[in-house]
Amino acid sequence: MDKRYVVIGAGIAGLSAAEAIRRQDSRGRIVLLSGEAELPYARPMLSKAPLLSMELKKLSLRQPSWYRSQDIDLRLGVMAEELDPGAGTVTLRGGERLAYDKCVLATGARNFIPPFPGREEVPLCDVRTLEDLRRMRRMAEGSKRAVIIGGGVIGLEVAAELYHYGLETTVLEAMDYLMPRLIGPKTSDWLRAQLPGLHVETGVAVAGLRREGQTIFVDEKNGRSWPCELLVVSCGVRADTALAQQAGIACERAIVVNERMETSAEGVYACGDCAQFQGFNAALWSQGQEQGRVAGTNAAGGCAVYTGCDTSLVLNLDGVALFALGDLGQSGGADYEIEESSWGQRKTFQVDPRRPAVPGRGLRVWKGEKLVGVSLMGDLTKMQAWKTQLLKERDGGK
Ligand SMILES: Cc1cc2nc3c(=O)[nH]c(=O)nc-3n(C[C@H](O)[C@H](O)[C@H](O)COP(=O)(O)OP(=O)(O)OC[C@H]3O[C@@H](n4cnc5c(N)ncnc54)[C@H](O)[C@@H]3O)c2cc1C
């Protein structure tokens, strides 16, 4: 009998898994469930392409004909509500029950909205789905001021878009510097100086949110207040483990998987933002794509092992190019040694005409004898060479 596969979630991880299953098993029956109503799309573009003018349908990863040609039964706007690994069934909202031989969990992540006092009283936006983006567009119309809580990559990208849309834009970051998870204080200072259009406040402790008429106020603990008509929260994500937990599958911060993407339940795999391998989840596109491939290949009887993914940050924010990889001071401690280099005025990107050219600069960060982090600012010509050097040192010179 042909094998039956159910893939839950049709982001990049679920799509890669379905694709890998089909590559391995030309006859099996594949059902790919998406809780969203749209064809699977390029989620990272939600904050990169011009937020307020982009043609959203251009984001689709595959056309409907591709799913037909691969004989993948893609079901849009369909939530799986229950997983029973003992019985080998997935129950859908509405009651339909699908029997499977192998199941892949690719349920992704949800945005984390901190429990700010007053949160229920104000309309706030976050960006995870196309539907969120449409809502933000509607709310941006008629707004003059935007406040973004969270100075990570997505918060800054969204802020730059809103600024170009014409909104007076303020970014509030709780830590003492921007992108606290990814870059150290020095790279952050440089980045901040390149974004004169944005008002950036760091070290902000939000006391609460409130509303007076159409105006939303973000109140700080130190008494300052930030008024706006559009409030966006970008404070990271939490893995969506609801279905796995209900099924009794081992979860920590995310669903625990081994190098074959197997979970603690026989016949059930997990991949992408919902999974953690060796206690870690990078919540990156490349990770979802590769883990999906590994999960799908193994589910269909092949043999694949996940060995990690490229976690480097490459950002082109508002014409400002930045590359960062490794520990640039963000993990704390005073024993960093930083080598700073500057090499001329060559530009590798188009600079906003209102801004001065950004000269190329680089940082190499050492702990004792060991190179632990690199970043390039402005000119990324040396990116590959520096990345290779860091990875080589990290792997013990192999
Ligand atoms: C605005 C933005 C910008 C980003 N920029 C970058 C970037 O520059 N570089 C980068 O590497 N990464 C970036 N990311 C992160 C990247 O998009 C994610 O790591 C990646 O999309 C994760 O893919 P996934 O398939 O694991 O999960 P997701 O893309 O979250 O997909 C999971 C899907 O599963 C569905 N689902 C959940 N539960 C169920 C259920 N019970 N039944 C049916 N369906 C269900 C969800 O509705 C969702 O559609 C960005 C993310 C966002 C939001």
14 C-beta closer than 6 A to ligand 1:
yes
- Look at residue 397 in the predicted model and tell me its pLDDT: 54
Q: Is residue 61 part of a domain?
A: yes
User: What SS3 string covers 243-306?
Assistant: HHHHCCCCECCCEEECCCCECCCCCEEECHHHEEECCECCCCHHHHHHHHHHHHHHHCCCCCCC
Q: Is residue 389 part of a domain?
A: yes
Q: Is residue 105 part of a domain?
A: yes
Pick from 39, 107, 277 the residue to mutate for probing ligand 1's pocket: most ligand atoms within 8 Å of its CB: 107
34 C-beta closer than 6 A to ligand 1:
yes
Q: Residue 61's pLDDT band (boundaries 50, 70, 90)? A: very high
107 C-beta closer than 6 A to ligand 1:
yes
CA distance 309 to 291: 9
Query: Does residue 347 register a pLDDT over 50?
Result: no
Q: 230, 146 in Cβ contact below 8 A?
A: yes
CA distance 137 to 158: 11
pLDDT for 351-374, tens place per residue? 333 444 445 678 888 887 788 888
- Look at residue 333 in the predicted model and tell me its pLDDT: 65
- Look at residue 76 in the predicted model and tell me its pLDDT: 98
How high is the mean pLDDT of the chain?
89
Write the CATH number for 193. 3.50.50.60
Which of 273, 299, 325 terminates a domain? The answer is 299
Q: 297, 303 in Cβ contact below 8 A?
A: yes
CA distance 376 to 362: 4
40 C-beta closer than 6 A to ligand 1:
no
pLDDT for 209-221, tens place per residue? 999 999 999 999 9
Q: Is residue 308 part of a domain?
A: no
pLDDT for 12-28, tens place per residue? 999 999 999 999 999 99
- Look at residue 364 in the predicted model and tell me its pLDDT: 82
Total domains, the chain = 3
pLDDT for 229-287, tens place per residue? 999 999 999 999 999 999 999 999 999 999 999 999 999 999 999 999 999 999 999 99
pLDDT for 121-154, tens place per residue? 999 999 999 999 999 989 999 899 999 999 999 9
Are 222 and 284 members of one domain? no
Residue 317: phi and psi, rounded to 5, are: -100, 110
Range with lowest mean pLDDT among 101-115, 159-173, 245-259: 159-173
Are 289 and 319 members of one domain? no
Residue 379: phi and psi, rounded to 5, are: -115, 115
Greater confidence, 329 or 42? 42
Query: Does residue 326 register a pLDDT over 90?
Result: no
Query: Does residue 98 register a pLDDT over 50?
Result: yes
Q: Which residue's C-alpha comes closest to atom 50 of ligand 1?
A: 44
Are 206 and 166 members of one domain? yes
Domain that holds residue 375: 313-394
- Look at residue 348 in the predicted model and tell me its pLDDT: 33
Does residue 124 sit in helix, strand or coil?
A: coil
Q: Is residue 260 part of a domain?
A: yes
Are 359 and 263 members of one domain? no
- Look at residue 354 in the predicted model and tell me its pLDDT: 41
Q: Report CA(78)–ligand 1 centroid distance (Å).
A: 16
